[in-house]
Amino acid sequence: MSTVVPPKSPESDPRVKAVFDDIRATRQSDFINNIWRYLAFDADLLERTWDEVKAVMATPSDLDPLTKELLYLSVSIINNCNYCVHSHTAGAKAKGMSQTQHAEVLKIVALASKTNQLATALQVPTDPEFLLEEG
């Protein structure tokens, strides 16, 4: 099904175990979803990916957790990653996305794709008003 064989006992590798432990501690959940189990085929790739996901998504910042998850979901839809659409829709629901908000995200993603294509098809020149003064 996948292009790699995920390790059968991933946590026998101490580097993998450390990442899985940190995922569990950070998310306060025992559930390790498949992307991490498959990335474990290469401990370095796993470590670096989790390090970045934790820093960007699981650290308090100037955007609230639900907004961040909705941005992640929107990118995943446009990049057409089926796994990611499933995992980040579930993630957004877990962070409080209501059904109305879900529908609204879909409306924005669909509308943006539509107007993106119109602007590309028309080759609309950028308004001088959008350009910044060099600092």
Q: Scanning the structure block, which residue is given the tokens 């957790």?
A: 65
Residue 24 interacting with a copy of itself (CB under 8 A): no
Rounded CA gap, 38 and 50, in Å? 13
Candidates 13, 18, 47, 57: give the one binding a copy of itself (CB under 8 A).
57
Based on CB atoms, which residue is closest to a copy of itself, 21 or 110? 110
> Shortest gap between Cβ of 16 and a copy of itself (angstroms)?
13
Residue 28 interacting with a copy of itself (CB under 8 A): no
Based on CB atoms, which residue is closest to a copy of itself, 25 or 31? 31
Residue 25 interacting with a copy of itself (CB under 8 A): no
Rounded CA gap, 134 and 72, in Å? 31
